[in-house]
């Protein structure tokens, strides 16, 4: 070997000529490799679940009664109640109103809210009657804090416009969300969770291992997070 | 001017001529670079979804390599400082190869940033509304391109002076630029570190030690790469590479790596002893989070490799040749690449700021693009060395022919 | 003299030269063959490498006008109208729907903030999907601006939240729910880091993105402490491929044609997007889509500069908090809990042992 010459990459032998001759064919081969061997770079299809717009209704959960209230089939309340006058307002006395489930905690007497004399009016603790369009005042008697929050916009749903002076600004009244006889809202099915690109299968919180250390309530339940998750699934219609 | 163009043409032609080893090496690199180009074209069409990156882990292999290579480019200064500031004769003979490496590596850096862009065709917007000085990325654009220009000037000036057989005007055209380059080299890596450490939302990055750690690890991995490169140059060309230059670089690596390990220990202590929220990413990196532990084997390999390399470097190596140093260098290059790439970029995204754990694994296409850029960078560097050696030696000057040119004329 | 000969011969010359072997006496057949085969191989390999570019469409390559389009803040009204026309054409071409797109400017004396009642949120994810429908986000791959976290009681550490809860019904009594979206920070880290000023804060407090200016570096995504920004890793699609195959018009039916330049106009591959408080709605006085859908009224929105607005009242009367306050981002997104209602019943005991803890929120 002749370091001085070879060291400079000076071609001088058959091997070098041969190598030079091979450049073209090798590159041609490379073209074929690129075209036919290298796998495609397509992204695996994620197929995230789709949600139809029809499941995204912005309408109030319930229709609130107006004043005067109209009961089923367009009848006024007093049409029947002139004749039918239950002695007490116990919930067991409900015969006609089978669709009513009374689940309102301590408030379990019809006449707590409904006026004994005029069923198209509501009655306050003071004995004064109010129309159905003023029912928030009735709720306010017990749920003062919620009522206060509602008047300030901290509770309840305000839609249409964000400016209180805008004519489209509209705040739902109590009974547009809550059933006055069973005001606690029922649970609903959640829409599908995230399904982002290459997310993989996801379970639980970020660091189950560390949750033990971090969550002050973890030790309160024997099996920690998992137990809670299973407990949550069996439960339904509480309160 | 005409002479300069002729010089460029001759250089271009020279880069196509060599012996079989040169052809083989260049051919392999070209093939890999073409594969990378092909992969990038696919990415242009199908989007960055062809990479393993997600909204959860929004930076991956590209930015990791970018960070590592910025350090590599900055490390050229470790040849320049002894050569120009301390007037070390041994290093003075090889300093130009460090600067050439900086040029090639900065080009690789810019390529890695470009392939990471979602809309590279709108790159022009950088010139129209440049969010300077607020965005650290604009600082990075300035310092990287500035460093590229400075080093292009230094190396180009030296090589062209040798070609024209002129004594370089050191006081006017060289030394001021070299001094600027020294400061600038530190700045490129500091700015790159600030890119990460300035983000309050990423506790894993958001500490002051990031910048010093970047510099320390760069000044270990960079010189390690240069040690190997210089030996290759010494072996395959006639350029004289003094062994003492390598020995000096070994000292640099030892000091830098020791500081790096010290900083790492400081960081680990603070994180794990405090047990604050920083811990989640670090915990993921070293021990995994639940069943998510993709980086754990990597980082522990890096820890093992780096520690072993440091021990090897500290061993007395009087009569053992250079293999011990070379082994250590290879280990450091690999170890620091893992530590800085996978260990520093990826875990900052895991878990996300909202606590979701999505792991990152580069795709084949992404790896091919990365390999392609590496191959292209090495290709550039080989060509630059290929030209520089005969020019500096006086084989290729304005009025002499290089042996290959003589050989071709003889066949003609 | 010798250099002249060199110039006219050698590999380089025959690589680019068109002449045959006989054209130049100085070139040997062998070296010519070698060089031309090498060049041919190189060109073939290069052509093969860039062959995927054949699939580039007009969605990828901007037209000249698009390419020269100025930054949002620099456009004159005429230029904006031209840009809007281009968008109209593009949307109509792709989705077969003529969009009603405008550039809606912020209102004077308005600064929007959001408030969210964590005692009320039930985690039904209606807001997530209403947002997607309103803002024309990509359905595949999926891009959503809102994440709802299911949080165990006893902590507000979001790292403990579960993003992927799947229950027959929500809410679960042992958890509360925390939706997170862009907080429209007053000191936004994402704006600071953008190298091309493609994202900025508007006078009404909304941080917006000029989708035509973004270069897709994703630095803002790394900077956001609330993980509010999303990147279009692929060409966005409003329906899944199988659905498009079954019904080619499905994308048109999914497109919301009411759009504005800075908000919900369709995005392209390779740009960032994020929640913009539905500015095409809110700048015209309406409520954001996520608020309108909320079945429990947990979401509150309004003008904080108006002392009588809902949100001002909430800030005054409720104990509110922001996420990651220590980062100094000054979010415009506030969370609050209701005080425990004295008439509410106690929570049932947890399933396994232990006494039921007093929850921070009121029982539902």
Cβ atoms of residues B124 and B176 within 8 Å: no
Q: Interior CA angle at C107 toward C106 and C108, to 5°?
A: 120
Q: Do A193 and C165 touch (CB under 8 A)?
A: yes
CA distance A192 to chain B (A): 17
Element (DSSP H or E) covering residue C302: strand C299-303
pLDDT for res B229 = 92
State the pLDDT at residue C271: 96
C60 and A CB contact within 8 Å:
no
pLDDT band at A19 (very low <50, low <70, confident <90, very high): confident
CB under 8 Å to C213, separation ≥6 — which residues?
Answer: B122, B125, B129, C71, C72, C196, C197, C198
Contacts of B38 in chain C (CB under 8 A): 48-52
Asked if A19 is an interface residue toward chain C (Cβ–Cβ < 8 A), one would say no
- pLDDT, position A232: 36
Residue B409 has pLDDT above 80, yes or no: no
Tell me the C-alpha distance between A113 and A122, whole Å: 6
Q: Any chain C CB within 8 A of the CB of B19?
A: no
Query: Which residues of chain B does A205 touch, with a Cβ-Cβ cutoff of 8 Å?
Result: 355
| pLDDT computed for residue B320 by the predictor | 61
Phi-psi region for residue A153, left (φ > 0), alpha (ψ -120 to 50) or beta?
left
**Domain residues for B181?**
2-411
Q: Which 1-30 residues of chain B touch chain A by CB within 8 A?
A: 17-24, 27, 30
C349 touches chain A (CB under 8 A): no
- Domain of residue B316, CATH code: 1.20.1630.10
- A108-112, A133-137, C90-94: segment of lowest average pLDDT: A108-112
> Quick check: C333 and C181 in contact, CB under 8 A?
yes
Please tell me the least confidently modeled range out of B312-326, B341-355, C25-39.
Answer: C25-39
Average pLDDT value for residue range C125-142:
94
CB contact under 8 A, C39 and A61: no
Q: Is the pLDDT of residue B110 over 90?
A: yes
Query: Closest residue of C to B119, CA-based?
Result: C215
Q: How far is A81 from chain C (nearest CA, A)?
A: 32
A215 closest CB neighbour out of C38, C155, C171:
C155
Cβ <8 Å between B55 and C231? yes
Give the pLDDT of residue A201.
Answer: 66
* B34, B42, B395 member nearest A30 (Cβ): B34
Computed over its alpha carbons, how large is the radius of gyration of chain C?
29
Interface test with C, best of A40, A187, A200, A202 (most C CBs within 10 A): A187
For all residues of chain A together, what is the average pLDDT?
79
Mean pLDDT value across chain C: 86
CA distance C254 to A49: 14
C-alpha dihedral, B262 to B266 to B268 to B272, nearest 10°: 150
pLDDT tens for B120-154 read 999 999 999 999 999 999 999 999 999 999 999 99
Per-residue confidence (pLDDT) for residue B319, from 0 to 100 = 56
pLDDT at C8 over 70: no
Asked if B407 has any chain A CB less than 8 Å from its own CB, the reply is yes
pLDDT of residue A208 exceeding 70: no
Average pLDDT over residues B328-333: 96
A197 contacts in chain B (CB < 8 Å)? 49, 54-55
> Which segments within C128-269 are labelled E, that is strand?
147-152, 175-180, 199-201, 207-209, 229-231, 258-260
pLDDT tens digits, one per residue of C164-188: 999 999 999 889 999 999 999 999 9
Radius of gyration over every alpha carbon of chain A, rounded to an integer in angstroms: 36
Instruction: For residue C87, give how far its alpha carbon lies from the nearest alpha carbon of chain A (Å).
Output: 24
* pLDDT surpassing 60 at residue A234: no
> What string of H, E and C letters represents the secondary structure of A203-219?
CCCCCHHHHHHHCCCHH
* pTM for the predicted model, two decimal places: 0.90
* Whether residue A46 has pLDDT greater than 60: yes
Q: Do B38 and A34 touch (CB under 8 A)?
A: yes
Domain count, chain B: 1
Is ipTM > 0.90 here? yes
pLDDT at B30 over 90: yes
Residue B237, chain A, CB below 8 Å: the answer is: yes
pLDDT at A80: 81
**A34 vs B contacts (CB less than 8 Å):** 34-35, 38
Number of residues that make up chain B: 412
* Chain B residues close to C274, C-beta within 8 Å: none
- Classify residue A36 by its DSSP letter: I
Is the CB of residue A21 less than 8 Å away from at least one CB of chain C? yes
Q: Among A194-198, B103-107, B258-262, name the one with the lowest average pLDDT.
A: A194-198
For residue C243 the two structure tokens come to 């659905």
Q: What is the 3-state secondary structure (H, E, C) of chain B?
A: CHHHHHHHHHHHHHCCCCCHHHHHHHHHHHHHHHHHHHHHHHHHHHCHHHCCCCCCCCCCHHHHHHHHHHHHHHCCHHHHHHHHHCCCHHHHHHHHHHHHHHHHHHHHHHHHHHHHCCCHHHCCHHHHCCCCCCCHHHHHHHHHHHHHHHHHHHHHHHHHHHHCCCCCCHHHHHHHHHHHHHHHHHHHHHHHHHHHHCCCCCCCCCCCCHHHHHHHHHHHHHHHHHHHHHHHHHHHCCCCCCHHHHHHHHHHHHHHHHHHHHHHHHHHHHHHHHCCCCHHHHHHHHHCECCECCCHHHHHHHHHHHHHHHHHHHCCCCCCCCHHHHHHHHHHHHHHHHHHHHCCCHHHHCCCCCCCCCCCCCCHHHHHHHHHHHHHHHHHHHHHHHHHHHHHHCCCECCECCHHHHHHHHHC
For tokens 């060089």, the residue is: C35
pLDDT confidence tier of residue C83, bands split at 50, 70 and 90: very high
Q: How far is A87 from chain C (nearest CA, A)?
A: 28
pLDDT for B255-265, tens place per residue? Answer: 999 999 999 99
Q: What is the average pLDDT across A201-226?
A: 52
Cβ-Cβ contacts under 8 Å, C60 against chain B: 44-45, 121
Residue A170 contacts C, CB cutoff 8 Å: no
Q: Which of residues 53-72 of C touch B (CB under 8 A)?
A: 53, 55-56, 60-62, 67, 70-71
- Where do the domains of chain C lie, and which CATH numbers do they carry? 2-55 (no CATH), 64-336 (3.30.70.20)
């Amino acid at each position: 070997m002749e370091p001085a010459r070879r060291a400079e990459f000076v071609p001088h032998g058959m091997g070098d000529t041969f190598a030079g001759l091979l450049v073209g064919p090798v590159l041609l081969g490379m073209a074929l490799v690129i075209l036919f061997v290298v796998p495609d770079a397509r992204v695996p299809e994620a197929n995230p679940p789709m949600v139809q717009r029809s499941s995204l209704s912005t309408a109030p959960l319930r229709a609130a009664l107006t004043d005067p209230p109209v009961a089923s089939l367009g009848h006024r309340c007093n049409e029947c109640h002139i004749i039918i006058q239950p002695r007490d307002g116990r919930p067991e006395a409900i015969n006609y109103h089978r669709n009513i489930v009374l689940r309102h905690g301590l408030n379990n007497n019809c006449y707590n809210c409904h006026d004994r004399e005029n069923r198209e009016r509501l009655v306050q603790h003071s004995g004064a009657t109010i129309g159905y369009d003023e029912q928030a005042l009735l709720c306010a008697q017990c749920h003062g804090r919620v009522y206060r929050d509602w008047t300030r916009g901290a509770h309840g749903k305000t839609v249409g416009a964000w400016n209180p002076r805008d004519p489209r600004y509209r705040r739902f009244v109590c009974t547009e969300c809550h059933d006055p006889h069973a005001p606690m809202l029922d649970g609903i099915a959640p829409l599908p969770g995230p399904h982002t690109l290459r997310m993989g299968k996801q379970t639980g919180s970020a660091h189950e291992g560390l949750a033990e250390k971090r969550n002050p309530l973890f030790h309160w339940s024997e099996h920690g997070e998992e137990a809670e998750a299973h407990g949550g699934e069996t439960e339904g219609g509480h309160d | 001017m005409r002479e300069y163009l002729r010089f460029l043409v001759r250089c271009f032609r020279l880069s196509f001529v060599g012996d079989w080893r040169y052809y083989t090496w260049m051919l392999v690199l070209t093939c890999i670079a073409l594969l990378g180009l092909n992969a990038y074209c696919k990415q242009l069409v199908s989007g960055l979804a062809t990479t393993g990156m997600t909204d959860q882990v929004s930076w991956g292999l590209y930015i990791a390599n970018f960070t590592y290579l910025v350090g590599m480019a900055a490390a050229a200064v470790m040849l320049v400082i002894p050569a120009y500031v301390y007037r070390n004769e041994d290093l003075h003979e090889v300093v130009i190869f460090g600067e050439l490496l900086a040029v090639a590596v900065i080009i690789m850096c810019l390529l890695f940033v470009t392939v990471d862009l979602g809309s590279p065709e709108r790159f022009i917007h950088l010139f129209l509304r440049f969010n300077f000085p607020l965005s650290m990325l604009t600082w990075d654009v300035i310092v990287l391109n500035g460093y590229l220009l400075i080093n292009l000037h230094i190396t180009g000036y030296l090589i062209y002076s040798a070609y024209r057989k002129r004594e370089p005007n050191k006081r006017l055209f060289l030394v001021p630029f070299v001094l600027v380059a020294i400061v600038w080299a530190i700045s490129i890596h500091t700015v790159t570190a600030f890119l990460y450490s300035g983000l309050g939302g990423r506790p894993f990055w958001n500490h002051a030690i990031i910048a010093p750690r970047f510099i320390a690890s760069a000044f270990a991995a960079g010189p390690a790469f240069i040690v190997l490169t210089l030996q290759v140059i010494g072996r395959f060309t006639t350029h004289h590479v003094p062994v003492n230059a390598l020995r000096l670089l070994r000292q640099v690596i030892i000091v830098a790596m020791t500081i790096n390990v010290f900083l790492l220990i400081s960081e680990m202590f603070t994180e794990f002893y405090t047990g604050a929220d920083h811990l989640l990413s670090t915990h993921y990196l070293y021990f995994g989070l639940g069943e998510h532990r993709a980086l754990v084997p990597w980082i522990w390999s890096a820890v093992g490799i780096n520690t072993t390399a440091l021990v090897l470097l500290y061993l007395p190596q009087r009569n053992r040749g250079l293999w011990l140093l070379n082994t250590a260098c290879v280990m450091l290059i690999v170890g620091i690449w893992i530590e800085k790439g996978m260990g520093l970029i990826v875990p900052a995204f895991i878990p996300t700021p909202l606590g979701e754990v999505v792991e990152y694994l580069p795709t084949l296409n992404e790896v091919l693009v990365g390999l392609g850029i590496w191959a292209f960078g090495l290709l550039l560097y080989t060509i630059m060395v290929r030209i520089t050696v005969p020019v500096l030696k006086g084989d290729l000057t304005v009025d002499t022919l290089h042996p290959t040119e003589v050989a071709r004329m003889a066949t003609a | 003299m010798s250099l002249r000969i060199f110039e006219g011969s050698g590999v380089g010359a025959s690589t680019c030269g068109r002449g045959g072997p006989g054209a130049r006496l100085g070139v040997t057949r062998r070296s010519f063959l070698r060089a031309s085969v090498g060049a041919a191989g190189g060109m073939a390999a290069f052509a093969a490498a860039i062959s995927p570019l054949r699939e580039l469409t007009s969605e990828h390559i901007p037209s000249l006008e698009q390419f020269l389009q100025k930054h949002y803040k620099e456009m004159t009204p005429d230029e904006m109208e031209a840009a809007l026309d281009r968008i109209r054409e593009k949307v109509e071409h792709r989705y077969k729907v003529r969009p009603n797109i405008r550039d809606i400017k912020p209102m004077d004396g308005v600064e929007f903030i959001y408030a969210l009642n964590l005692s009320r949120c039930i985690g039904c994810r209606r807001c997530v999907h209403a947002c997607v429908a309103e803002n024309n986000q990509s359905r595949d791959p999926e891009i959503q601006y809102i994440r709802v976290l299911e949080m165990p009681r006893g902590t507000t550490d979001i790292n403990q939240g579960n993003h992927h809860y799947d229950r027959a019904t929500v809410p679960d009594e042992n958890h509360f729910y925390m939706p997170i979206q862009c907080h429209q920070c007053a000191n936004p880290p994402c704006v600071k880091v953008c190298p091309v000023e493609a994202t900025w804060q508007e006078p009404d407090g909304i941080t917006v993105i000029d989708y035509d200016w973004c270069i897709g570096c994703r630095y803002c995504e790394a900077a956001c402490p609330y993980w509010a920004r999303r990147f279009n890793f692929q060409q966005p699609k409003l329906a899944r491929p199988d659905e498009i195959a079954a019904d080619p018009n499905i994308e048109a039916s999914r497109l919301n044609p009411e759009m504005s330049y800075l908000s919900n106009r369709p995005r392209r591959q390779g740009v960032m997007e994020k929640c913009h408080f539905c500015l095409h709605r809110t700048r015209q006085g309406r409520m954001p889509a996520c608020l309108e859908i909320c079945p429990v009224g947990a979401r509150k929105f309004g003008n904080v500069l108006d002392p009588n607005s809902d949100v001002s009242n909430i800030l005054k009367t409720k104990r509110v908090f922001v996420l990651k306050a220590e980062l100094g981002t000054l979010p415009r997104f506030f969370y609050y809990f209701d005080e425990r209602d004295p008439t509410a019943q106690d929570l049932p005991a947890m399933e396994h042992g232990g006494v039921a803890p007093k929850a921070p929120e009121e029982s539902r």
